[in-house]
Structure 1
Amino acid sequence: MNMQKKLLSFHSKYMSFLIIFCCSLTACEIEKHEKANIQFKKQQILTPHADGILEYTSEDAVIDASNASDGYIMIHYKGNSKKEKAQIVYPDGRAYLYTLQGGYEVFPLTGGDGNYTISILEYVYEKEYKIILTAGISVQLNNEFSPFLYPNQYVNFSSENKAVQKAEELSLYCENEVQIIDSIYQFIIYQIQYDFEKAKKVHINYLPDIELILHEKKGICFDYAALMCAMLRSQGIPAKLEIGYSGSSYHAWVLVYSSQKGHIHDIISIHEGWTLLDPTYASQHSAQNTLAHTISNTYFSLYTY
């Protein structure tokens, strides 16, 4: 009888321990998920809108500058020409030329505050175009980072994209910005291969398709930069797609902003502010070589998207 009581007492204590232990584990897991979910909920993918509050129109075109203070405009060409273009002249005089694809499209105002001139050009003959609509706007950004958080024609993404969903997955348990940058950076450089054949025949008006890049797991420098910027922006981290020259090569790379210091890929420093990252080069070289390359090589930006 005493033995039974002892066994019952032991069994009761053992079960109590198991219940407490399991509950503790569950609580830890719940807390871990809650922390991750809280962080996840903070990331709201920004969606551009053509609100029609400030519009410039012609018979065949619309320039919607309703959200210029958020760092973008939207253009809609409604004519029959298949080679229409948009030109945006920045406050510093630089001119950005885009080929329109149809429907409402988003174009960033990455030159900061100041006066911009937007023109829509309709194809006439050979290299001749005529201006069918022009607008001058004065821009004062609500947030200096907005142009580098919204999607645009070059960095095109939405919440439905698998690339964005992958970014959410990679960021779920990250505790800070640097860890998110590291997670996305390493995913891209190890999962995406450089496409040498595509590089030989890429068209001048080529635009990256982040879904196709992720599906095929290969791309050119433009693809690497666009995919990385899209994934970072979807997680609330400002990222610039830069196009210009790396040494003597025409190239695309990324500038990422962080409010924290740290390291990614073990040895590459992330500064407080903007840090240059070259995922194309990193995908083909070691972390040490990549670090040496980005330090010693000259990157000269012509365009920022």
Structure 2
Amino acid sequence: MKKAVSILIILFVLAVNVITISALELSALNFQALETGVLSVEYQMQRKSNTRIMIENNGERHFYRLPYGAEKESFPLKQGNGEYTISILEHVSGNQYRPVVTEKLYVDAVDENKMYLGSVQEIKWNESMAPIMKAKELTKNLEADREKVEAIHQYIVQNIKYDYDIIPYLTSDYLPDIERIFETQKGICYDYASLFAAMLRSVGIPARMVKGYAPGIAEYHAWNEVLVDGEWSVIDTTMDAAFAAGGVAYDMIKNAEEFQKKIAI
């Protein structure tokens, strides 16, 4: 039986099963996965709408898109235990949004390592996906976590190429699709980091996607932090793929002090 989680929810909306808002029909807010540090949201939209979810804890806010056509999305509760404010925001105009649903919840007994094993919006995976089956294949005869990390790292570095062609078409709402990345064998740094994290998580190795600035890269960048031998280590598969393609020697584990972390998922 899963460990129970203490949750205190203060509702600021009418307590009915379906809350209908002009563009968004919210069928449920599912809190069942909170022991893993993940908030699961079930919803239905009547029409396309620029709708967001805001997750706030101790003054720190994170915003995510609720895509039209999806029925369920999962988001990390990155601050671990504590009180969170969850708001559904409907687009008004320009960069203005209004809250249409707000709830407060208190989360206790979150396992912070489990938080980085699950599927979330930017690292979305399930057991039936081809890259996840590949991760199982690559690691099936390996016992040590470091060996598993190295096997998956090598596969990505040797097989995934940087996708320069997609750059002019990227939007602020772009989300990685690990099945597309695996099939086309190309992606941007965001894609590399999502694929690596998903494959590692699927074999039981906690992994974060990190965004910020890396040495030698002027643009905003994405890489990973992986729990290896009990320590969180910086690994950058995008950078390593470029090194490998150019015949340049590199170390898989990077110097964390050279990276400026802004966001970790």
C-alpha distance in 2, partners of 1:242/1:296?
12
Is 1:285 equivalent to 2:263 in the alignment?
A: no
C-alpha distance in 2, partners of 1:123/1:292?
42
What letter matches 1:255 in structure 2? E
Give the unaligned 5+ runs of structure 2.
1-7
The structure-2 alpha-carbon separation of the partners of 1:137 and 1:162, relative to structure 1 and needing over 3 Å to count, comes to same
Is 1:254 equivalent to 2:221 in the alignment?
A: no
Listed as ranges, the matches of 1:64-83 within 5 Å are 64-79=30-45, 80-83=47-50
User: How much has 1:290 moved relative to structure 2?
Assistant: 3.6
Structure 1 or 2: larger strand share?
2
The structure-2 alpha-carbon separation of the partners of 1:151 and 1:55, relative to structure 1 and needing over 3 Å to count, comes to farther
Could you tell me which residue of structure 2 aligns to residue 304 of structure 1?
Answer: 264
User: How much has 1:135 moved relative to structure 2?
Assistant: 1.2
The structure-2 alpha-carbon separation of the partners of 1:280 and 1:141, relative to structure 1 and needing over 3 Å to count, comes to farther
What letter matches 2:235 in structure 1? L
**Residues 114-170 of structure 1: per-residue CA shift (max 9 Å, x gap):** 221111011222322211111111112342211100001000000110001000000
Q: Secondary structure at the match of 2:35?
A: helix
The structure-2 alpha-carbon separation of the partners of 1:183 and 1:207, relative to structure 1 and needing over 3 Å to count, comes to same
What letter matches 1:88 in structure 2? I
Is 1:115 equivalent to 2:73 in the alignment?
A: no
Listed as ranges, the matches of 1:1-305 within 5 Å are 58-59=19-20, 60-61=25-26, 62-79=28-45, 80-91=47-58, 93-101=59-67, 102-247=70-215, 248-258=218-228, 260=229, 272-286=230-244, 289-291=249-251, 294-295=254-255, 298-305=258-265
Largest Rg, 1 or 2: 1
The structure-2 alpha-carbon separation of the partners of 1:228 and 1:283, relative to structure 1 and needing over 3 Å to count, comes to same
C-alpha distance in 1, partners of 2:123/2:193?
9
The structure-2 alpha-carbon separation of the partners of 1:86 and 1:285, relative to structure 1 and needing over 3 Å to count, comes to same
C-alpha distance in 2, partners of 1:226/1:117?
26
| Native 8 Å contact 1:239 1:254 kept in 2 | yes
**TM-score between both structures, scaled by the size of structure 2:** 0.83
**Residues 247-302 of structure 1: per-residue CA shift (max 9 Å, x gap):** 443000011002x3xxxxxxxxxxx3100000000001048654399338731222
C-alpha distance in 2, partners of 1:296/1:123?
38
% same residue? 30
The CA RMSD measured in Å over matched residues stands at 2.3
Q: Secondary structure at the match of 2:175?
A: coil
C-alpha distance in 1, partners of 2:41/2:249?
42
* Number of residue pairs the alignment of both structures matches: 240
C-alpha distance in 1, partners of 2:41/2:252?
42
The structure-2 alpha-carbon separation of the partners of 1:139 and 1:298, relative to structure 1 and needing over 3 Å to count, comes to same
| Native 8 Å contact 1:68 1:141 kept in 2 | no
